[in-house]
Amino acid sequence: MRLLVQYTAQLRTAVEKAEEEFELEGRSSLATLLARVASRLQAEATRHLLTPAGRLQPSLMVVLNSQVVSTREAESVLVKAGDVVTLMPPIAGG
């Protein structure tokens, strides 16, 4: 199944693209998708997604079809064909 991953803010800058498609096996979890995304990224981009220990950054907002999903629930949330997953690193004022 095909899903669309959108990159925002620092992640978009590091990846140098706004979005890309991913192909997953059926009945995959959000965690599986995020692991696939991480495996495709360069180190500069990966650090916005993962901690040095390889866990998801606690302050990364993961939006599944217009709803923020807790990264701690990523294992239990299933994704489906056509889903749009937006990755939003935290940003600030200035």
Neighbours of 90 (CB within 10 A): 12
Which residues 15-44 are close enough to bind another protein by CB under 8 A? Answer: 18
23 touches 46 (CB < 8 A): no
35 touches 5 (CB < 8 A): no
Residue 32 tokens, joined: 């599986």
Nearer to another protein, 1 or 63 (CB): 63
Nearer to another protein, 1 or 8 (CB): 8
66 contributes a contact to another protein by CB under 8 A: yes
Binding site for another protein (CB under 8 A): 8-10, 12-13, 18, 47-48, 51, 57-59, 61, 63, 66-68, 70, 88-94
